[in-house]
């Protein structure tokens, strides 16, 4: 597979995963704020902006949910806005149109046309949920088409890498931002209070995890259980550990398919992170500090990304001639 | 049967008295593909004609909308350069098929095979000894002064001596009903993907009509293209199990990018860009996740000038340095070969009938359009005196650029062209304004005639293969004779009948 194509598939997939994440967070946010105090709502908006736009964004400029939604949905200057991410996914899909199947392309193209023809005013007048729900469904449709129709070749594995590296980083980030703001508040009490409960459920729903969590822990929402579920659960597809497992499997498959000697390096790196998660205990994570553990995970993901690039995408002639 | 059948009128009624949807269908001097001069439908159109009388305009519009939507969703678009946002537009598609009988097609096919063989022999000759120039059949000066003559190709042998692996010849139908060649397009002709996409949509929109007619299929184009490329592989790589063919595209910002991806998928080959390629020891490689992989045949969709910055344009980012040397060493095939443009120079065009006679000793089957060379003093005088009647073209351009259509021009435009012609006479030719034939199109809920041409695709590997049909381009503006997509043209499906 052409290195440039692998690169495009990887980013196409990452951007769509980001669309899924941002969309879900706004959607969840809009269902939670009506029950919140002005102050809690403001803090919530700040967290979303920090997490989805960046630490440097002047949070105080955002004073309403309309402004927040506009920033996260359509803002041309925000590279993580849903519209920009869909456009970026499409830009990456276009040069590999002959590699992905036509249904995948049409799905991305339709999402693009849909958001190009939507406006914040229209969404707000109607029911915003319907809009975000549709975008979410569209991403799932794309991923469904990918899973049902694409051969499990390198291309598919690069798509998986993009999806799961993005997902691991996002779940870690969502946890990090929410815990920084909420954790101390609930530390003292045994059971979380009603307002904080709302936020913890919001975190789970933002990670598409609430229903799955309840099956494991019942509706007893506890910070430690949330951390355990979102970081260490091996079966839930949005948990960090699940994502790292998927990344390692795909790296393995790509290494075999390309017979690249250097693949061992990137495989080992992912393997180390996986082993850490396999043997980790939630109590230890909380004791040593959740923030630093999450930062460690995010740094490792960035390292894996870099080494994938050095090994498969951006190498030079001195490296080798293919067999 | 729907209510519109009440309006059914006998086919013998005069054009002026025709019912909806033909109310604005009028005949003029041009050859009409649908109607005989007396207003009755030609035999091959009769069934379609009656079907159109049965359908309501609403039904037709609905099918048009469904076709348009299908193009949009599939992203079958081209990029409009003049728009800063790089807007993609769908290539306008006309709902009604253009029908060509088996007999008409037989003439076209024989004529094209003859012409392509002769032009290919011509290319080989002028890059090897140039006997035709020594025999003064074509003026030496004309060939050597062509913008597309590549002196680097002198004495270079190409696999099977095939220079033009893919041709898209532009044919027009004259008022007398005969087909004539307007342009040869021997460099990087485009449009085959639209031909195939039009067919896919047509079969969905008018399945019964299509089935009734017994139209000859086009679907094998991708495979035929691949086979031709395979046949043109470098000699020592012929038949190799790891023979690698790629399609080289300028990239996603090129107006024909959709076509490049479409054809790469149809052929099942990699679409590469210049930055994917790398040359080492005169071997071309592409950079893959598994390391460097040798490339044997490049179906290149970029112009000669951009192929290799170390030999041609140094500012080109589209090709790769070293490709020309690899080509010189016979380690890679470029299709089409470099330097083919000299044979589709619009001034050389005037000599094609002579070229056919010279190499094949046969009379040309397809007509040429009468052409005045501005490099000739007498002919230039005539051209300058008749600018309002003639079409003037720059010899090295294509796509409808650098062209003056005399009867539709302003005095100012004519003065501009007069200046250009006098300054660089070798650069211009002129032809009489030809009334291209007209075919029925569905526009604004009416069936109206519009001028059309026809671009069949000819593949040349170890043998010549021609697709039955081609791209019928339509000048959608009423009265316009310009069919290029960059100038308001559209296209329609072309049916060649089995018998």
Question: For the residues of B176-229, what is the DSSP string, one character each?
Answer: TS-EEEEE---S----HHHHHHHHHHHHHHSHHHHHHHTBPP-TTHHHHHHHHH
Does position B9 have pLDDT exceeding 90, yes or no?
Answer: no
What value, to the nearest 5°, has the Cα angle with vertex B167 and ends B166 and B171? Answer: 160
Cα–Cα distance, A137 to A131 (Å, whole number): 10
> Which residues touch A116 (CB under 8 Å, ≥6 apart)?
A83
Same domain, A21 and A132: yes
Specify the DSSP element, H or E, that contains B490. Answer: strand B489-496
- Domain boundary residue among A90, A122, A150? A150
Read off the pLDDT of each residue in B110-129 and give the average, rounded to a whole number: 97
**Check whether domain B105-177+218-360 has CATH 3.40.50.11290, yes or no:** yes
Does position A128 have pLDDT exceeding 90, yes or no?
Answer: yes
Among B263, B272, B289, the strongest candidate for a mutation testing the A interface, having the largest count of A CBs within 10 A, is B289
Does position B12 have pLDDT exceeding 50, yes or no?
Answer: no
CB A138, CB A111: distance < 8 Å = yes
Q: Is the peptide bond before B21 cis (omega within 30 degrees of 0)?
A: yes
Chain A partners of B72 at a C-beta cutoff of 8 Å? 113
10 Å Cβ neighbour count for B253? 11
Choose the weakest-confidence range: A184-188, A235-239, B186-190, B342-346: A184-188
CA B281 to chain centroid, in Å, comes to 37
Same domain, A142 and A162: no
Cα–Cα distance, A303 to A237 (Å, whole number): 22
How close, in Å, is residue B89 to chain A by CA atoms? Answer: 13
Chain B partners of A6 at a C-beta cutoff of 8 Å? 289
Specify the DSSP element, H or E, that contains A145. Answer: helix A128-149
Do the chains contact at B73 and A254, CB–CB below 8 Å? no
Tell me how many domains chain A contains: 2
Tokens 């007893």 appear where? A220
The pLDDT value given to residue B152:
93
Task: Kindly identify which residue of chain B lies nearest to residue A113, measuring between CA atoms.
Answer: B73
Q: Measure CB to CB from residue A2 to each of B258, B280, B286 and give the nearest one.
A: B286
Choose the weakest-confidence range: A259-263, B117-121, B262-266: A259-263
Chain B residues 51-110 within an 8 A CB cutoff of chain A? 72-75
The pLDDT value given to residue B6:
32
Does position B4 have pLDDT exceeding 60, yes or no?
Answer: no
Choose the weakest-confidence range: B7-21, B123-137, B223-237, B472-486: B7-21
Give B489's pLDDT tier (boundaries 50, 70, 90): confident
- Terminal CA-CA length for chain B: 29
Tokens 């002959």 appear where? A98
Choose the weakest-confidence range: A105-119, B1-15, B71-85, B475-489: B1-15
Specify the DSSP element, H or E, that contains A142. Answer: helix A128-149
Going by C-alpha positions, the residue among A69, A59, A61 that lies closest to residue A30 is: A69
Q: At the topology level of CATH, where does B370-432 sit?
A: Dna Ligase; domain 1 (3.30.1490)
DSSP annotation of A229 reads: I
Going by C-alpha positions, the residue among B201, B207, B195 that lies closest to residue B496 is: B195
CB B289, CB A6: distance < 8 Å = yes
Q: What are phi and psi of A75, to 5 degrees?
A: -55, 120
The pLDDT value given to residue A319:
61
DSSP annotation of A237 reads: T
10 Å Cβ neighbour count for B303? 18
Same domain, A3 and A140: yes
Q: Measure CB to CB from residue B291 to each of A4, A97, A319 and give the nearest one.
A: A319
Read off the pLDDT of each residue in B117-122 and give the average, rounded to a whole number: 98
Per-residue pLDDT tens digits for B221-237: 999 999 999 999 999 99
The pLDDT value given to residue A87:
95
Residue B214 CA: distances (Å) to CA of B35, B41, B217, B492: 21, 19, 9, 18
Q: Measure CB to CB from residue A4 to each of B258, B276, B291 and give the nearest one.
A: B276
Chain A partners of B254 at a C-beta cutoff of 8 Å? none
Cα–Cα distance, A64 to A43 (Å, whole number): 12
Same domain, A177 and A138: no
CA B196 to chain centroid, in Å, comes to 14
DSSP annotation of A228 reads: I
Choose the weakest-confidence range: B2-16, B61-75, B329-343, B418-432: B2-16
Cα–Cα distance, A183 to A199 (Å, whole number): 11
Q: What are phi and psi of B32, to 5 degrees?
A: -100, 125
Cα–Cα distance, A158 to A5 (Å, whole number): 9
Do the chains contact at B270 and A260, CB–CB below 8 Å? no
Read off the pLDDT of each residue in A254-280 and give the average, rounded to a whole number: 86
- Domain boundary residue among A106, A128, A150? A150
Considering just the CA atoms, what is the radius of gyration of chain B in Å?
A: 23
- Domain boundary residue among A98, A125, A150? A150
Chain B partners of A10 at a C-beta cutoff of 8 Å? none
Three-state DSSP class for residue B290: coil
Chain A partners of B73 at a C-beta cutoff of 8 Å? 106, 109-110, 113
Give B87's pLDDT tier (boundaries 50, 70, 90): low
Read off the pLDDT of each residue in A1-21 and give the average, rounded to a whole number: 96
Does position B322 have pLDDT exceeding 50, yes or no?
Answer: yes
Among A1, A3, A92, the strongest candidate for a mutation testing the B interface, having the largest count of B CBs within 10 A, is A3
Q: Which residues pair with B300 in a beta bridge?
A: B248
Question: For the residues of B412-479, what is the DSSP string, one character each?
Answer: HHHHHHHHHHHH-GGGEEEEE-----EEEEEETTEEEEEEB-BB-EEEESSSEEE-SS-BEEEE-STT
Same domain, A202 and A73: no
Q: Is the peptide bond before B336 cis (omega within 30 degrees of 0)?
A: yes
Do the chains contact at B75 and A320, CB–CB below 8 Å? no
Per-residue pLDDT tens digits for A73-92: 999 999 999 999 999 999 99
Q: Encoding tokens for residue B169?
A: 């010849």
How many CB contacts within 8 angstroms connect chain A with chain B? 87
Cα–Cα distance, A246 to A255 (Å, whole number): 14
What value, to the nearest 5°, has the Cα angle with vertex B88 and ends B84 and B89? Answer: 120
Read off the pLDDT of each residue in A131-158 and give the average, rounded to a whole number: 95
Q: Measure CB to CB from residue B287 to each of A3, A98, A105 and give the nearest one.
A: A3
Same domain, A143 and A265: no
Do the chains contact at A322 and B290, CB–CB below 8 Å? yes
Helices (H), B232-314: 257-267, 304-307
B136 touches chain A (CB under 8 A): no
Same domain, A72 and A199: no
Does position B41 have pLDDT exceeding 80, yes or no?
Answer: yes
The pLDDT value given to residue A250:
94
What proportion of chain B, given as a percentage, has pLDDT over 70? 93
The residues spanned by each domain of chain B are: 3-102+193-217+468-496, 105-177+218-360, 370-432
Give B16's pLDDT tier (boundaries 50, 70, 90): very low
Do the chains contact at B276 and A3, CB–CB below 8 Å? yes
Do the chains contact at B292 and A322, CB–CB below 8 Å? yes
Q: Encoding tokens for residue A176?
A: 């990090």
Same domain, A120 and A204: no
The pLDDT value given to residue B82:
53
Does position A156 have pLDDT exceeding 60, yes or no?
Answer: yes
- Terminal CA-CA length for chain A: 13
The pLDDT value given to residue B313:
84
B115 by Cβ neighbours in 10 Å (0-12 / 13-18 / 19+) ranks as buried
CB B432, CB B26: distance < 8 Å = no
Does position B147 have pLDDT exceeding 70, yes or no?
Answer: yes
Give B400's pLDDT tier (boundaries 50, 70, 90): low
Read off the pLDDT of each residue in B187-210 and give the average, rounded to a whole number: 92
Question: What crossing angle do the helices spanning B411-423 and B377-385 adopt, rounded to 10°?
Answer: 170
Helices (H), B29-85: 46-54, 57-74
Q: What is the mean pLDDT of chain A?
A: 90
Choose the weakest-confidence range: B61-75, B234-248, B349-363: B61-75
Chain B partners of A317 at a C-beta cutoff of 8 Å? 278, 280, 292
Do the chains contact at A258 and B273, CB–CB below 8 Å? no
Going by C-alpha positions, the residue among B429, B320, B292 that lies closest to residue B371 is: B429
Same domain, A188 and A307: yes
Q: Which residues pair with B446 in a beta bridge?
A: B443
Going by C-alpha positions, the residue among A105, A7, A161 that lies closest to residue B276 is: A7
CB A97, CB B263: distance < 8 Å = no
Per-residue pLDDT tens digits for B266-305: 999 999 999 999 999 999 999 999 889 999 999 999 999 8
Instruction: Enumerate chain A positions whose Cβ falls within 8 A of a Cβ in B.
Output: 1-6, 91, 94-95, 97-98, 102, 105-106, 109-110, 113, 154, 158, 254, 257-260, 312-313, 315, 317, 319-323
The range of the structural domain enclosing residue A8 comes to 1-150
Q: What are phi and psi of B40, to 5 degrees?
A: -90, 145
Same domain, A43 and A178: no
Same domain, A99 and A173: no
Q: Measure CB to CB from residue B280 to each of A2, A109, A317 and give the nearest one.
A: A317
> Which residues touch A123 (CB under 8 Å, ≥6 apart)?
A69, A73, A131
Per-residue pLDDT tens digits for B409-437: 999 999 999 999 999 998 899 999 888 99
The pLDDT value given to residue A320:
58
Choose the weakest-confidence range: A50-54, B226-230, B316-320, B448-452: B316-320
Same domain, A78 and A185: no
Tokens 């990887």 appear where? A10
How close, in Å, is residue A295 to chain B by CA atoms? Answer: 30
């Amino acid at each position: 597979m052409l290195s440039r194509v692998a690169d495009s598939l990887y980013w196409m997939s990452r951007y769509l995963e980001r669309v899924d994440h941002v969309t879900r967070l706004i959607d969840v946010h809009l269902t939670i704020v009506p029950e919140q105090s002005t102050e809690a709502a403001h803090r919530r908006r700040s967290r979303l902006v920090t997490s989805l736009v960046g630490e440097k964004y002047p949070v105080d400029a955002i004073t309403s949910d309309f402004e927040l939604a506009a920033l996260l949905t359509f803002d041309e200057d925000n590279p993580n806005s849903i519209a920009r991410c869909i456009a970026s996914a499409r830009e990456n899909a276009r040069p590999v149109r002959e590699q992905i199947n036509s249904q995948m392309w049409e799905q991305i193209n339709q999402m693009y046309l849909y958001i190009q023809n939507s406006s914040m005013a229209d969404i707000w007048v109607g029911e915003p949920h319907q809009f975000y729900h549709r975008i979410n469904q569209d991403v799932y449709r794309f991923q469904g088409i990918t899973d049902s129709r694409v051969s499990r070749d390198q291309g598919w594995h690069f798509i998986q890498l993009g999806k799961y590296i993005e997902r691991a980083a996002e779940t870690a980030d969502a946890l990090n931002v929410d815990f920084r703001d909420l954790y101390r508040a609930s530390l003292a009490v045994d059971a979380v209070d009603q307002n904080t409960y709302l936020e913890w459920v919001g975190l789970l729903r933002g990670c598409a995890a609430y229903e799955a969590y309840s099956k494991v822990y019942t509706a007893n929402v506890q910070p430690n259980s949330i951390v355990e579920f979102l970081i260490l659960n091996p079966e839930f597809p949005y948990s960090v550990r699940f994502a790292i497992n998927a990344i390692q499997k795909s790296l393995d498959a790509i290494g075999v398919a390309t017979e690249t000697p250097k693949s061992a390096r990137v495989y080992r790196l992912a393997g180390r992170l996986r082993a850490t998660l396999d043997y980790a205990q939630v109590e230890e994570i909380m004791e040593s500090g959740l923030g630093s553990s999450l930062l460690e995970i995010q740094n490792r993901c960035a390292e894996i990304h870099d080494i994938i690039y050095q090994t498969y995408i951006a190498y030079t002639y001195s490296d080798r001639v293919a067999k | 049967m729907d209510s519109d059948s009440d309006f059914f009128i006998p086919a013998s009624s005069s054009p002026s008295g025709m019912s909806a949807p033909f109310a604005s269908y009028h005949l003029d001097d041009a050859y009409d593909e649908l109607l005989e001069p007396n207003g009755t439908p030609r035999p091959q159109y009769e069934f379609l004609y009656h079907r159109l009388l049965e359908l309501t305009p609403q039904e037709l519009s609905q099918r048009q909308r469904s076709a348009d939507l299908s193009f949009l969703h599939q992203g079958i678009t081209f990029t409009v350069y003049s728009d800063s946002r790089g807007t993609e537009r769908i290539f306008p598609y006309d709902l009604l098929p253009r029908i060509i009988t088996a007999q008409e097609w037989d003439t076209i096919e024989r004529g094209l095979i003859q012409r392509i063989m002769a032009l290919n022999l011509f290319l080989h000759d002028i890059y090897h000894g140039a006997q035709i120039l020594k025999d003064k059949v074509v003026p030496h000066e004309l060939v050597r002064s062509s913008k597309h003559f590549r002196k680097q190709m002198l004495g270079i042998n190409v696999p099977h001596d095939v220079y033009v692996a893919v041709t898209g010849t532009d044919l027009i139908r004259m008022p007398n009903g005969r087909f004539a060649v307007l342009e040869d397009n021997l460099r990087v002709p485009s449009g085959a993907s639209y031909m195939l996409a039009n067919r896919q949509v047509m079969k969905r929109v008018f399945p019964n009509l299509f089935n009734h007619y017994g139209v000859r299929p086009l679907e094998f184009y991708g495979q035929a293209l691949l086979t031709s490329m395979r046949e043109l592989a470098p000699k020592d790589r012929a038949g190799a199990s790891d023979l690698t063919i790629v399609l080289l595209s300028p990239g996603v910002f090129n107006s024909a990018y959709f076509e490049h991806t479409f054809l790469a998928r149809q052929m099942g080959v990699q679409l590469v860009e210049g930055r994917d390629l790398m040359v080492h020891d005169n071997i071309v490689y592409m950079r893959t996740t598994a390391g460097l992989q040798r490339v044997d045949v490049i179906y290149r969709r970029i112009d000669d000038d951009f192929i290799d910055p170390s030999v041609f344009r140094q500012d080109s980012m589209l090709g790769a340095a070293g490709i020309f040397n690899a080509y010189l060493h016979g380690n890679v095939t470029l299709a089409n070969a470099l330097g083919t443009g000299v044979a589709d120079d619009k001034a050389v065009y005037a000599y094609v009938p002579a070229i056919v006679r010279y190499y094949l000793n046969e009379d040309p089957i397809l007509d040429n359009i009468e052409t005045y060379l501005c490099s000739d003093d007498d002919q230039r005088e005539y051209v300058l005196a008749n600018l309002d009647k003639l079409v003037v073209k720059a010899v090295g351009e294509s796509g409808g650029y650098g062209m003056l259509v005399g009867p539709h021009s302003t005095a100012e435009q004519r003065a501009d062209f007069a200046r250009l012609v006098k300054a660089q006479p070798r650069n211009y030719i002129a032809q009489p304004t030809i009334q291209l034939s007209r075919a029925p199109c569905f526009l604004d809920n009416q069936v109206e005639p519009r001028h059309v041409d026809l671009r069949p695709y000819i593949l040349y590997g170890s043998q010549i293969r021609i697709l039955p049909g081609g791209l019928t381009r339509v000048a959608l503006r009423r009265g316009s004779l310009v069919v290029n997509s960059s100038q308001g043209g559209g296209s329609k499906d072309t049916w060649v009948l089995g018998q």
